[in-house]
Chains A and B, each alone.
Chain A
Amino acid sequence: MAPGERAQRILARVRRGLWLRRGLLASSGAASVALGVAHLARSLGFFISPTLYLAFFVPLVLSVLWPLPWEKRLFWVGRRLRLGGKLAGLAAALNRGTESFLVPLLADLRVPLRRLYFPEALALFPPLLLGVLLVVGPTPVPRVLVTPEPPAQELPQTAEEEEKASLALKTEKEETAIPEIPQLPPGFSGSPPYPHLLSALFGEEVSLEEAVERLAQEEGLLRRLAELLREAQETGLTGEATAEIGEILEELARPDVRETLSQELAEGEEGLAQAEEAVAAALEGLARLQGEATGPEGQGSAQAGGELGDELAYENPDLWGEVVPDVVPNPSPRPEREEAEEGAGLGVGTEEGEEVATGAPEAQEREAQVVSAEVRPGEGPVRTGIHLAFPGESAATGPEIPAGLTPQQVELLLREGALPPELRELVRRYFELLAGGGS
């Protein structure tokens, strides 16, 4: 190969190396910025359109297209490659056509281009690190969902057209009206209220399923206790029955019931009747609570299973106080349900004479209506099992759908959760949205 040709090849390699180096730096810089913005948007819960990220790669494109003054950088390249001014001398000799100088310059010339990329390659680490963090990092729930704006209506040209258009728009609005979501008062955090209500009800953090399970366990114990007491009244209290009653009392979750029963049973045979009444009252309250927790479907089973409690409740309505439902959007087809609500207690409901805050009429109408709204999946476990339904009716239309909460039950839960009245409507709407998104 002629010295001139060889020199040209070497210089072309150097030029390509410089292009590559600039591209490497530009791409790593652009990727770092893009991934940094992605991290920031993700941590703030914002969603950025992927097309916007393409803008960050403009520097990369520019680095490829922008002319590279590579000849002026030959001394710098020579220093980086530890070649001194050999490359610059080579270029100068080539430009002047002095081949006699090319030969000694090319004699022992090795161009280790890898040295051109060494510190620059470290620039790849930040975007790589950001990329890995983006993939393996936790996914926070986004706060803002970017939804496309509806297309603007064409402006009417004449007055008649305008009137028609406004009429049509009004009708359309009435047909497709989506109830407004009440705004949160200032200072209220945006977290879902349902877990707080449950925890206020049970005194600790429990899920709905766990609450239902606990209530069923409590019901079984009380039911067995009622049987034992009935048998004891007929045949007398045996030692075996006494031991079993003691075990059941220890397992009872409610300390007040346990204390009452212990006092009654301490009186001996005379206290058995009072103890049975107390157990029946507890069962009645439990059945009511189960109904509230498991929803209409669960109420059926709770009522079927808790027959004794219901009967006792009817017999003794004053034991647990009267419950007046806040909202009665539609007359229930099951009056026994309303009666049960009147007799049920266990801390839910209002005292006699207390003014009950009811929801707005339009809100009551909306309760039975499934509202479609955009809700991101994976909002949390509280949505599971919540369905919008009429009081006393099962929202579950198929066997695969689990028990849900009625709006009335939600209302009761809200009251028990000591939620301010002005927020109840908001929480109700929240559950409506959940139910709508899950259907």
Chain B
Amino acid sequence: MEKADIDRAHAALVRLRAALATVIVGQDPVIDVVLWALLGRGHVLLEGVPGLGKTLLVRALAKALGLNFSRIQCTPDLMPADILGTNVFSGDGFRFMPGPVFAHIVLADEINRATPKTQSALLEAMQERQVTVANLTHPLPDPFMVLATQNPIEMEGTYPLPEAQVDRFLFKAEVGYPTERELVEIIRRNTEGAGILLPEAALTREEVLLCQRVVQDFPVHAALLEYAARLVRATHPAERGAPEAVKTYVLYGASPRAGLALILGAKARAFLAGRFHLEVEDLQAVFRPALIHRVILNFRAEAEGVSPWQVLAEVLRTVPPP
């Protein structure tokens, strides 16, 4: 990779940010997490109440990236074949009809409304980046990114994602309510003129892949790798140096995937910021979205109303940086 490639990738990312900003009002932290996941070749779980612009964000992202996009509205009667695709008989025999998962950007809306069987099928595709139907393996397009949404309030008729499957999302983004100023802007844009127009494609597919390759090659100092490992290990209650909050409230700590998420997210964050080196702050900034869905609290924490972030903040405070 040449220096010119790095410069081209960075310029493409600048264009992408500008394109998203024309459509999405506020939600900068969510956009950041989505872009980190895109550059880290990961998937994102978006959690928030309805009407906060989650679907709009995903559609705008797909459009700005110049990639194809599909949306899966998850319901209890959704079957795996509805997502993955199926073999259909045509004149000359059976032919594979790809499902909506065969897209660059896939939005799995309200994923917790699908049955565990369907969830598993989707999550397997996310992890393997391929689909096997009737003993035939069909690779998913590259780049491939799933953005799943779930409503944290409405629990009736839902199937919460098992921990093992949640772990396959690189990051979890918590979509917050817009501020008053942002809300005014959202109302104005949706009620005046032609309404919201999706952005034009700001990048090509090759540029997206180039950006992902740059992040993959980004040099990381060994001290930061050790710091990431220490952070992840400190979430385990059996770990000797774990903080007291972890020992008291955590049932299961973060998996090794959390370490990958930390480093990939930190690299992407540094590159998005136009830097060619990592800072300790990069790791600390991605710590929350990378680990918040990977730490399982015990009953005592639930009874005492302790949130995962309260415990993780203690971990971040306790583990010394390099």
Contacts and interface: CB of A to CB of B under 8 A. Distances in A.
20 contacts: A72-B222, A72-B223, A72-B322, A74-B221, A75-B221, A75-B224, A75-B322, A84-B277, A85-B221, A86-B277, A88-B322, A89-B219, A89-B276, A89-B277, A90-B277, A93-B276, A96-B219, A100-B6, A101-B6, A101-B276
A46 B308 CA distance: 64
Given A92-B277, A93-B219, 20 more contacts: A71-B223, A75-B280, A75-B321, A75-B322, A85-B221, A85-B224, A85-B277, A85-B278, A88-B221, A88-B224, A89-B278, A93-B276, A93-B277, A95-B219, A96-B219, A100-B1, A101-B6, A101-B276, A104-B3, A104-B6
B2 to A, nearest CB: 6
A76 interface: yes
Interface string A52-76: 0000000000000000000110111
A92 B6 contact: no
Q: What secondary structure prevails in chain B residues at the interface with A? A: loop
A74 B276 contact: no
Given A75-B321, A92-B220, A85 B279 contact: yes
Interface centre among A84, A86, A88, A90 (most CB of B within 10 A): A88
Nearest to A95: B219
Interface in B197-224: 217-224
Closest 4 CB pairs of A and B: A89-B277, A92-B219, A88-B221, A93-B219
B239 interface: no
B5 interface: yes
A76 B2 contact: no
Given A75-B322, A100-B6, A92 B221 contact: yes
A35 interface: no
A241 B192 CA distance: 136
Contacts of A85: 221, 224, 277-280
Interface in B1-50: 1-3, 5-6
Q: Which residue, of A96, A101, A105, has the highest number of chain B Cβ atoms within 10 A?
A: A101
Nearest to B322: A75
Nearest to B220: A92
A98 B219 contact: yes
A188 B278 CA distance: 74
B37 to A, nearest CB: 22
Contacts of B221: 74-75, 85, 88-89, 91-92
Contacts of B223: 71-72, 74-75, 88
Contacts of A98: 1, 217, 219
Interface string A91-118: 1110110101101110000000000000
Contacts of B279: 84-85
B224 to A, nearest CB: 7
Contacts of A86: 277
A101 B9 CA distance: 13
Contacts of A72: 222-223, 322
A72 B278 CA distance: 14
A92 B276 CA distance: 11
A105 B219 CA distance: 11
Contacts of A95: 219
Interface in A306-325: none
Interface string A173-193: 000000000000000000000
A151 B191 CA distance: 109
Contacts of A76: 322
Contacts of A93: 219, 276-277
Contacts of A84: 277, 279
A104 B276 contact: yes
A74 B219 CA distance: 14
A383 to B, nearest CB: 66
B1, B221, B222, B278: residue with the most chain A Cβ atoms closer than 10 Å: B221
B6 A71 contact: no
Nearest to A72: B223
Nearest to B277: A89
B263 to A, nearest CB: 12
Given A71-B222, A72-B322, A101-B218, A88 B277 contact: yes
Contact of B277 (A71, A103, A105): A105
Given A75-B223, A89-B221, A105-B277, A100 B322 contact: no
Contacts of B278: 85, 88-89
B142 to A, nearest CB: 23
Given A75-B280, A85-B279, A103 B3 contact: yes
Contacts of B217: 98, 100-101
B222 A92 contact: yes
A71 B3 CA distance: 25
Nearest to B4: A100
B211 to A, nearest CB: 14
Contact of B276 (A75, A96, A105): A105
Contacts of A105: 276-277
A104 B280 CA distance: 19
Nearest to A69: B223
A326 to B, nearest CB: 81
Contacts of A104: 3, 6, 276
Contacts of B218: 101
Contact of A100 (B2, B220, B321): B2
Contacts of B276: 89, 93, 101, 104-105
Contact of B5 (A88, A90, A100): A100
Nearest to B225: A92
A104 B278 CA distance: 13
B169 to A, nearest CB: 27
Contacts of B219: 89, 92-93, 95-96, 98, 101
Nearest to A84: B279
B71 to A, nearest CB: 38
Contacts of A74: 221, 223
Pick from B2, B219, B220, B322 the residue with the most CB of A within 10 Å: B219
Contacts of B322: 72, 75-76, 88
Nearest to A99: B3
A93 B6 CA distance: 14
The residue in A76, A86, A95, A104 that gathers the most chain B C-beta atoms within 10 A of its C-beta is A104
Contacts of A75: 221, 223-224, 280, 321-322
Interface string B269-284: 0000000111110000
A96 B1 CA distance: 13
